[in-house]
Amino acid sequence: MLSPSPLSPSLQSLAQAMSGTFSNERQAIDSPAWFVNLRLWQCPTPLFAEDSITLFLEQANHLKLDQAYRQRLLRLSEDQDSLVGQYYQFKDFGAWRGCGQAPERLTSLSLADVDPLPGCRVAIRPGGSFSGGQSGYKAELVPGGKCEFEYDGKMRQVLVGFEISQSGSELKTFDKGIDPETGKGLWGALMGPYEFIRL
């Protein structure tokens, strides 16, 4: 007899909605000056399976699917009955490039390959606005959170957040790079969220 899963139905539902391949092609066609046509992969991994569901995330320009970037992990778990997400970065980004299209490679992923990103933790609550009046989830940095990391010898700051419909058919990402000194937006969702549809 199988033992019951330690993961709550709400956590499993969230992870199921978020897992998949997404595209913002419609948005890119409507607003080409502001939004690049992207492919986004969110794939389950074996890490932290004892109490969490951890997704591998990466994206690519749809014209350059072999040049994926922004490889990272999002660990979904519960903290005192509230859903939370913690982001991790890879010690060697290049070693995991392309796993969105070849998720079987993620079976060899281990804790030695990643580092948690201090301050990059989101609170996930019911919310968001979606077509047809669907319900969903909304993720925002926890109060006082400041998502910073070093990349190419420079300190980078990112405002992270997302909204996902209950069915997983719609995903909005609010990730935006910020100049730590001026607070000015540098890249990402400068003109509103990226609006993805599940493929």
In three-state form (DSSP H/G/I as H, E/B as E, the rest C), the secondary structure along 116-136 is EEEEEEEEEEECCCCHHHCCE
- Looking at residue 89, its pLDDT comes to 94
- Looking at residue 121, its pLDDT comes to 96
Q: Which fold has domain 9-191?
A: Lipocalin (2.40.128)
Amino acid identity of residue 154, one-letter, is: K
Domains of the chain, by residue range, sit at 9-191
SS3 61: strand
Nearest-CA neighbor of 141 among 168, 123, 167, 118? 123
Which residue positions in the chain have pLDDT lower than 70? 1-5, 151-152
- Looking at residue 2, its pLDDT comes to 43
For CA atoms 136, 192, 199, 43, give the dihedral sign: negative
- Looking at residue 3, its pLDDT comes to 43
Name the pTM for this structure: 0.91
For CA atoms 194, 37, 15, 110, give the dihedral sign: negative
Could you tell me which residues are beta bridge partners of residue 126? 137
- Looking at residue 55, its pLDDT comes to 98
- Integer CA distances (angstroms), 21 to 14, 28, 157, 184, in order: 15, 16, 26, 30
